[in-house]
A and B are shown apart, each in its own frame.
Chain A
Amino acid sequence: MFWKLSQNEKISKRQIRRLLFWEMSGITTLMLPRLLIDDSGVYGVDGIFAIIIAGVLQILYLKLLAKKSADNRGSYFIEIFYILAFLLFSADILRIAVDMINTTLLQDGSWQLIGIILIILICYGSVGGVEGRARMYEVLHYILLVPLVSMIIFAIRDVDTYMWCPIAVTKPENFICGIIKAFGLIHLSSIASIEEDVRGKYKQVKKAIVCVVIINVIIYLVLIGIFTTELMGIQKYSILILMSMIKIPGGFLKRQDAIMMAVWSFALYALLNAIFSKGREKIQNIFDINKNRSKGLVISVYAVLIYVVMYIDYKYIEVQKLISQKLIPSAIVISVIIIPLYSIWKNRSVQK
């Protein structure tokens, strides 16, 4: 269906908003609670302040980005850095998607096969280009959003608000660590779509980030009120467990968790597609590849590379820690600090 669309690489403002919303909301709602509580040591609802501050920081970062020159390119070093960063991001998110499907939907299934099918689907989505994907997200937006919001509303009945207390008891160093990690995840989830030129779409990106922060805060509050801080720290995917626990009035739907899995599968797929496509585009730009046949080769090689990294990432816990806790945070730091500094330096030298 993607090939039928016109390929002028232009998408509407609404499409940008929806595209970013789904790319960002999947990974953040899935990973943020554990990242804040277990990895950073943030206690209870203090996590929502970390999320809000991280969202504000990301908006400020975008504002700065929107003011500077559109052309970040020019250095092979930066381009290669981005390709490597996108490769790692894609592999790690693919690992999370495979793990999520393997532990919840297909427990006896082969994770290798799930990975292969996902990577084939990602290649397929990538061929369609951003325009094809944006139309898909536009159409599916309410189909996914309505069940998600409904389930959160049903879950609110079971929230014990006493569990939100006490507030502001997290150690300052843990809180700062939480903000950095939350910012890292929000930044990572939006990096593929906003990495270059933000000037024309700043307002839409800002709206999408605000929506993502709001939905994350609500989900975080619901999760704390139901599971408590202690349990959220050890549960891998608290939001998915919550979806399987909610009792729908009337009891007409028994396995709503399987339906809700589609929301996160789709959201992760959206993010994967964006990062994969961006990485592929950068390879094509570096090697100046324009022929369709060569493009196919680039996609195939890049997909195989991602699958191999994902395979190692999934199988060896040391590699998983290295990628998730060392390489990706370093890449975010480079992306946020070093590249804008380089860009400013480059602009000044051009002006001189």
Chain B
Amino acid sequence: MKKIIVLVVVIILFNVAGCSQKKMENSTYPMAIGIDKGKDDLDITFGFPILEEKADNGTDNKAVRTKSIIGAKDIYDAIRNYERNTDKSIDCGHVKVLVIGKDMMEEVKNDLWEDILKSGILARNVLIFEADNAKDIIECETDTSVGEYLEGVIESDVYAANTCVTLGNMFEQQHGGRKNVMIPYLKLNDKIPYICSYSVLRNMRTVDIIDSKEQLMALLLDGRLKKYSFYTADDTLVRLSDIKVKRNIQNKSGKAFEKFDISATAQIFSELYFNKAASELKKINERTQVQLRDELNEELDREEDVGVDLTGSFSKVGAFDRELWKKYINAQEKYEKDKRSICSVKLYLNE
């Protein structure tokens, strides 16, 4: 009798697993989603690879298909709309990229992130990009699906890998996250997307637009880069590795004063560099050091002028000064405007 009961329970368990309802061939798997501001609602574009073509001919045919839903209230509504008008259901579990239209980002649709993340439609590590028109990016002509392509662009970045903005970061921003985020801004060049700049968001508002050099310098100061390279005044390539950043925030008359001490191993790539005397090498190294220090201080001055901090200083102030933390805990914008910074650089030549 007991064995029969166990058998019945096991059979019931197999039937309630829920796997039989959804078959792979009846689902489509978007790799990227674009969201633009429509006339009244949202225009949402799905970008998916055609799985059937891949399977049928066995070749590496990765044609990309897109589908736009005009006038959706949110992603849920767009999915429902798509499923109602086609013979397939959408599984967003493979989405790698979310491209947001410029108008949409400026609207500061706070609820959008909350809806997306809490509904569990998209994973927390989906990458966020911004563009003039998200639909154009999703419909671009890349070899692979645009989702895979953009993910590759971010992951193959030798210097700033894993420094991208994700859906989770946007959620943090929305709920008082203390770090500003730098969202890659996409444009098309010969129908292929590329990152032309970065939008800096503080409390869900765009506060600055920076280029990739400024983004890299901000990451360098924040200690998030493992490698960094730059050209000296005489066009010599210098590559830094083993980068260490020591920072200290002091309270000077009730305002934050931050000091960065950067040390790294420098490798100089120049023909002139070979067969040089030790004293000359030392001079080259000192020149390089001064140049990098000046460039980083220029960047810090620029941030002070704009009143934006890109180095995550606000999130770290509590570790250095309790008075400053208490004063500015609910005033990130004021903190970033009041803050003053300086940087020093020490390079060790790689022999």
Q: Kindly identify which residue among A44, A103, A245 contacts B125, using a CB–CB cutoff of 8 Å.
A: A245
User: How far is A108 from B17 in the complex, measured between Cα atoms in Å?
Assistant: 11
A5 shortest CB reach to chain B, Å? 13
The 0/1 profile, CB within 8 Å of B marked 1, for residues 36-78 of chain A is: 0000000010000000000000000000000000000000000
Tell me if A245 and B120 are in contact (CB < 8 A).
no
- Interface bits A80-122 vs B (CB < 8 Å: 1, else 0): 0000000000000000000000011011110001000100100
Q: A162-B315, A166-B319, A228-B315 are in contact. Are A107 and B120 (CB under 8 A)?
A: yes
Residues of B within 8 A of A44 (CB): 318
Given A231-B177, A245-B168, also A103-B2 (CB < 8 A): no
- Nearest-CB distance from A124 to chain B (Å)? 7
Query: Does A241 have its Cβ within 8 Å of any Cβ on chain B?
Result: yes
Whether the Cβ atoms of B172 and A231 lie closer than 8 Å is: yes
Q: Is A194 an interface residue (CB 8 A)?
A: no
> Cβ of A230 < 8 Å from any Cβ of B?
yes
The one of B2, B175, B326 that contacts A231, using a Cβ cutoff of 8 Å: B175
Interfacial chain B residues near A231, Cβ < 8 Å: 171-172, 175, 177
Contact with A along B1-38 (1 / 0, CB 8 A): 01000000100110010100000000000000000000
Q: Are B125 and A3 in contact (CB under 8 A)?
A: no
Contact check, A3 vs B18: say whether CB atoms are below 8 A apart. no
Residues of A within 8 A of B18 (CB): 106, 108-109
Q: Is B69 an interface residue (CB 8 A)?
A: no
The yes or no answer to B123 lying at the interface (CB within 8 A) is yes
Residue of A120, A164, A166 touching B325 (CB-CB under 8 A): A166
Partner of B318, one of A120, A165, A244: A165
Cβ of A169 < 8 Å from any Cβ of B?
Answer: yes
| Contacts between the two chains (Cβ within 8 Å), count | 54
- Min Cβ gap B317→A in Å is 9
B178 within 8 A of partner (CB): yes
Query: Which secondary structure dominates where chain A touches chain B?
Result: helix
A234 sits at the interface (CB 8 A): yes
Closest to A162 in B: B316
Instruction: Kindly report which residue of chain A lies nearest to residue B166, judged by CB atoms.
Output: A245
Query: Please, which residue of chain A has its CB at the minimum distance from the CB of B120?
Result: A107
The residue from A109, A124, A163, A166 contacting B315, defined by CB atoms under 8 A apart: A163
**Chain A residue at smallest Cβ distance from B322:** A166
Smallest beta-carbon distance B75→chain A, Å: 14
B346 close to chain A: CB less than 8 A:
no
Asked if B124 is at the interface of the complex by the 8 Å CB criterion, the answer is yes
Apart from the given pairs A120-B9, A244-B124, 20 other A-B contacts in the complex at a CB distance below 8 Å: A3-B2, A103-B120, A107-B120, A113-B16, A117-B12, A117-B13, A124-B9, A160-B315, A162-B315, A165-B316, A166-B319, A166-B322, A166-B325, A169-B322, A228-B177, A228-B178, A231-B171, A231-B175, A241-B124, A245-B125
Q: In the assembled complex, which residues on chain A have CB atoms less than 8 Å from the CB atom of B325?
A: 166, 169
CB<8 Å pairs between A and B, sample of 12: A3-B2, A109-B18, A113-B16, A160-B315, A162-B316, A166-B318, A166-B319, A166-B322, A169-B322, A227-B172, A231-B172, A245-B125
A308 to B16, CA, bound (A): 21
Q: Which residues of B contact A113 (CB under 8 A)?
A: 16
Q: Which residue of B lies closest to A244 (CB)?
A: B124
Please, which residues of chain A bring their CB within 8 A of the CB of B168?
A: 245
- Cα A315 to Cα B175 in complex, Å, equals 27
A160 CB contacts on chain B under 8 angstroms: 315
When distances are taken between beta carbons in the complex, the residues of chain B under 8 Å from A241 are: 124
Min C-beta distance of B64 to chain A, whole Å: 22
Residues in B neighbouring A228, C-beta threshold 8 A: 172, 177-178, 315
Most chain A beta carbons < 10 A, residue from B18, B171, B176, B318? B318
Q: A3 vs B316: C-alpha distance in the bound complex, in angstroms? A: 57
A245-B176 CB under 8 A given contacts A117-B13, A117-B16, A162-B319 = no
Taking CB atoms, residues of chain A closer than 8 Å to B322 are 166, 169
What residue in chain B is nearest A227 (Cβ atoms)?
Answer: B172
Q: Smallest CB–CB gap between A143 and chain B, Å?
A: 21
The digit string for A12-53, where 1 denotes a CB below 8 A from any CB of B, is 000000000000000000000000000000001000000000
As a 0/1 sequence over residues 89 to 122 of chain B, the CB contacts with chain A under 8 angstroms (1 = contact) are: 0000000000000000000000000000000100
| B-chain residues with CB within 8 Å of residue A161 when the two chains form the complex | 319
Do A162 and B172 have beta carbons less than 8 Å apart? no
- Of residues 143 through 187 on chain A, the ones whose CB sits less than 8 Å from some CB of chain B are 160-166, 169
Residues of B within 8 A of A103 (CB): 120
Do residues A245 and B124 form an inter-chain contact, with CB atoms below 8 A? Answer: yes
Whole-angstrom distance between the Cβ of B12 and the nearest chain A Cβ: 8
Q: How far is the CA of A228 from the CA of B315 in the complex (A)?
A: 9
> Distance in Å from the Cβ of A82 to the closest Cβ of chain B?
29
Contact residues in B for A164 (Cβ distance below 8 Å): 319
Least CB distance, B166 to chain A, in whole angstroms: 9
